[in-house]
Amino acid sequence: MINRPSAGLQVDPLLDELRGGKPLAIARAITAIENGTPLGTEVARATRPFAGRSWTLGVTGPPGAGKSSLINALIAEFATRRRKIGVLTVDPSSPLSGGALLGDRVRMAKHSSNPQVFIRSLAARGHLGGVTRMTAEIMGVLDAAGVDLTIVETVGTGQSEVDVADLVRVKLVVCPPGLGDDMQAIKAGVLEIADLLVVNKADLPGAEQTAMQLRAMLHHGGSGDRRSVMLTDAVAGSGVSELADAIEQRFRQPPASDPRRRDRRTSRARRSLASRAASWVRDGVLDSLDPRIEQICLEIEAEGTPRRDALRRVLSTLLDGEDGGLMPGPTPLGRGGTDHEP
């Protein structure tokens, strides 16, 4: 029996069971990390050395493109090729209540009882960029548990979901047929991170044309572009085996080096640092009952855009909180991820 994350800090037995691939241990380790408990911090630290052991695949694309259905088909395909598959699916949290409907695995129901497959639904909890704040750490848990293929499905707002690019080796962008507004939404950010572009729902009219337009778009990027466009019908299963081949081939290639990018590990740390700092400031400003912050807001109301000086005062006020404000402690007034009374 494993303690609930809120209970005693039993990190060693939890890690042993986790490394043995026990689903309950994996699940509780993920919960602890998601909730930022002291146990979670310990688990994240202990599993960090394992991070990067598995093949990591990101799946992104606009709502309704068929990401979950395609992952469902890919799980079936990869289950014959790999030993253990981990899937993380991210859905948005309600900005009003903080609650979430996590429905991605409805499409993956047939893998619920396959011991080779571990699926976890994650709520974005206010984090933008298509994944959750703790996704990298959670992937480390899956690595430590012996998963050899990790699939991360992003929220699917279709634009600016580029955080996943720092987390995974191979990026799949799924597009539905029809180059209407969907394409407008994704072409600015998401297409640039794609290793493989997939036009799903290939049975629908316009699929071939969409693929052609995407190929033309890649062609504009220069003849050195090695990326390819594929067609699938996730429900009928056509094109899925070819897609799995293409994904495997990408994993076997050495990672493309891009001189413009910083070392990937540092870049991930930078993003994580930036996003944690941003959410700390955001929560601090929105929740604060500190009269000094109220005063700064009154001044901004009167004078317009916050000046550098106002920003500096806000930061120093926040840092002035008890124990520097940066240590976890009881939150008298929660936001977002908290459990509000009705």
Partner 1 sequence: MNSIPNRIPNPRILLTKSFIDSHDRAIATIAMALRDASMEVVLIDFEVPDDVANVAVQEDVDAIGISFMSGGQVETTGRIMALLKERGVPDLPVVVGGTIRPFDVEPLEATGVRAIFRGGAPLADVVTTFRALAREYREKA
**Nearest alpha carbon to residue 169 among 195, 204, 203, 200:** 195
Residue 3 CB, nearest approach to partner 1 (Å)? 6
Residue 284 CB, nearest approach to partner 1 (Å)? 6
Q: Work out whether 63 is an interface residue with partner 1 (CB under 8 A).
A: no
Residue 54 CB, nearest approach to partner 1 (Å)? 17
- Parallel, antiparallel, or unpaired for β 55-60 and 170-175? parallel
Please say whether the beta carbons of 85 and 73 come within 8 A: no
Work out which of 2, 128, 217, 297 binds partner 1, going by CB under 8 A: 2
Q: Work out whether 152 is an interface residue with partner 1 (CB under 8 A).
A: no
Work out which of 80, 95, 112, 301 binds partner 1, going by CB under 8 A: 112
Q: Work out whether 287 is an interface residue with partner 1 (CB under 8 A).
A: yes
Per-residue tokens: 290: 């500190």
Q: Work out whether 26 is an interface residue with partner 1 (CB under 8 A).
A: yes
The residue with tokens 């601090």 is: 284
Work out which of 280, 294, 295, 312 binds partner 1, going by CB under 8 A: 280
Residue closer to partner 1 (CB basis): 6 or 266: 6
Sheet with 196-199, strands from edge to edge, namely 117-123, 85-91, 149-153, 55-60, 170-175, 196-199, 228-231
Q: Work out whether 339 is an interface residue with partner 1 (CB under 8 A).
A: yes
Residue 198: phi and psi, rounded to 5, are -120, 125
Hey, which residues between 199 and 238 contact partner 1 (CB under 8 A)?
none
Q: Give kind and range of the element (H or E) at residue 171.
A: strand 170-175
Q: Work out whether 68 is an interface residue with partner 1 (CB under 8 A).
A: no
One-character DSSP codes across 103-123:
-GGGGGGGGTT-TTEEEEEEE
Residues in contact with partner 1, counted by CB under 8 A, come to a total of 64
Which residues lie closer than 8 Å to 120 by C-beta, 6 or more apart?
27, 30, 86, 87, 88, 89, 138
CB hemisphere CA count around 283 (13 angstroms): 19
Region from 49-57, 255-263, 266-274, 284-292 binding partner 1, contact rule CB under 8 A: 284-292
Distance, CA of 110 to CA of 104 (rounded, Å):
13
Q: Work out whether 84 is an interface residue with partner 1 (CB under 8 A).
A: no
Q: Work out whether 311 is an interface residue with partner 1 (CB under 8 A).
A: no
Q: Work out whether 102 is an interface residue with partner 1 (CB under 8 A).
A: yes
Contacting residues toward partner 1, per CB under 8 A: 1-4, 6-8, 23-24, 26-28, 30-31, 34-37, 93-94, 96-103, 105-106, 109-110, 112-113, 118-121, 123, 276, 279-280, 283-284, 287-288, 290, 318, 321-322, 325, 327-331, 334-340, 342
